Structures are given as structure tokens and as C-alpha cells.
Chain A
Amino acid sequence: MKLIYDNGGVAAVVTPAPKFLTTLTGTDEEKLIHIANKDLPTGTKYEIIADSVDLSDRTFRNAWTYTAGSDERTSEENE
């Protein structure tokens, strides 16, 4: 799973470090929320996307935009 959010008009994609994920507890979604709270500025709107989403074609990478979906979350202050 990855995180996506708007970064100045371009969609940013956050890839969690596998070694860091092993240090976290909870479900995969809870782990991603932890990373969002930690690595995204507080108050950032974001979504969690599945690994199955194909992001490999980067021909027009800077044209990617983030559009809010039904599962949008907001990053909170990291505890």
C-alpha cells in the first residue's frame, strides 16, 4: 500500500520502507495511517492506495494530479 496526496498541484506518492513497516503494529491500513501522520504535514488530505494500482508509466509523471476520493483522510499530529 502507498499514500497519495497533492503536493503543489502534482500528486505525490509515498512508499513506506519495508523495514520500518516491520517495526509497526496493527493492520496494514493502520501502519499507513501512522506513516501519513508522521511523514506528511499535519492537515494534509491523502488517500491510501493498494499496491495493485499501476504507477509504473511515468511518461507524464508531473501531470499526475490528486483527486479526492471517498476514502480521503487527513493527516494528524504525530504522537
Chain B
Amino acid sequence: MAIVINGSGTVTGLSVGGLPDNTVDAGTVAADVATQAEIDAKANLASPTFTGTVSKSGSSSGTSKVFTTSNTATENWFYIGSSQTHFRTQSDSANRLTLTDDGRGLSQFTAKVWVAYKGTDTNAILDSHNVSSVTDSGTGTYIINFSNSMASANYSASLSAQIHYSNKPNRGITDRLTSSVTVIPQRGTDGSMSDTPYVSVLVFGD
């Protein structure tokens, strides 16, 4: 027999734990109550996994923020997988920035290669990026070998070096390949070359 409560009074006989199983069905709950399937379909707050595209709707003007954080940690990480991930505007492939999982930032506006090299004594590579080795191929001639080749040999290579011999003020690039660039940091007007203690090479391009 149904119980009708109409007005004030006291209901006794209900135990803690709610109603018995199967006494509430879809027809007896409010229309806006989420089902278990709907709840399961929502992203977990702690470690959500998105399988589709994360979008930010809103005005075409102003600031669009897809992800923000109030975290004051010194480092906030954005992990990417083993393959390359592109950051770019939807149609602007020429100005995209690609971050690779081996630590390179590829774009038209980031250096593809740089190296600081000691051309005397031990011929040490002081520091470098995307450089596999440096070949000392004779007095004052060094080949910078790239870890990852350039897509085109039409890149811009800048060479700077410590002036070790004032009578050899010329410097230049002799061979520009996709896999390496050969530099001469100290060359005299008579064609002779000399070693120099500090050589700096910087490469931008495709």
C-alpha cells in the first residue's frame, strides 16, 4: 500500500541506508538526475584523459586560454608523447613551433644548431645543441656535424670567433651541407689560417 504524507507528522520505521534496491527506477527520479553512464563519461578531476579535441569557445577577440594554472611551482610540465607535437595556428604551417621529445624546438625563429668550440689545445666542445661532433680537419678549419640534419642547405649560419691573431681578421663558411657546416674563423689576407680558442656557430633555417 502506498504511503501518502499530507501535512505534518512523523514517519517511523525507515532505517538508515536509504530505500531498498530496485525500489527507485527511471520513472520515479527527477529528469535532471545523471545516470551512472553519464557520470562515467565525464573526465576525472584528478587525472583526466581526453580522447578528442579540447576546444575553447568564445569571442574572436580578447585572450583565449585553454589551460591556466595557479600553480606556483618553478616548473609546470606539459608532457608530449614520443612523436612530435605541433603548436601552431590552424592554417599557419610556416610559423609553427614544433617541440620534439628529444628537446628541440623547431621553427623559423628558433636556432636549429649552436655550438661553442675551443679550436686550440684539446679542441673541446664547450657546449652545443643539435651537434653530434666537431671535426678538426686542419689548422683553423672545423666541421660542425649536426645531430639532426637540416631539411635544406639554404640555411643561415653565423660564425663568430675570438680574434687570436690580429693579422688574420677574415672568417667565413666554406661548405654548407644539410648535415654539417665547415667554418674558418681566422684567415689572413695571404690565405693562411690559424686556430682560435673560441669559435661560435649559430644556424637558423629549415
The reply to whether B138 and A12 contact each other, CB–CB distance below 8 Å, is yes
Closest chain A residue, CB of each to CB of B121: A56
> Is residue B151 within 8 Å, beta carbon to beta carbon, of the partner chain?
no
Known contacts being A19-B128, A55-B123, is A14 close to B135, with CB within 8 Å? yes
Determine the interface band of chain B, counting residues with CB < 8 A from chain A.
Answer: 20 to 34
A49-70 contacts to B (CB < 8 Å)? 55-56, 58, 61-62
The reply to whether A17 and B137 contact each other, CB–CB distance below 8 Å, is no
Determine the interface band of chain A, counting residues with CB < 8 A from chain B.
Answer: 20 to 34
Q: How far is the CA of A10 from the CA of B140 in the complex (A)?
A: 13
Which of A12, A14, A17, A20 is most buried by chain B, counting CB atoms within 10 A of its CB? A17
Of B137, B147, B195, the residue contacting A20 (CB under 8 A) is: B147
User: Smallest Cβ distance from A7 to chain B, in angstroms?
Assistant: 5
Contact with B along A10-23 (1 / 0, CB 8 A): 10111111111001
Q: Which residues of A contact B (CB under 8 A)?
A: 3, 7, 10, 12-20, 23, 35, 38-39, 55-56, 58, 61-62
Q: Which residues of B contact A (CB under 8 A)?
A: 102, 115, 120-125, 127-129, 131-139, 145, 147, 179-180, 195
Question: Closest 4 CB pairs between A and B?
Answer: A39-B145, A61-B139, A12-B137, A13-B136
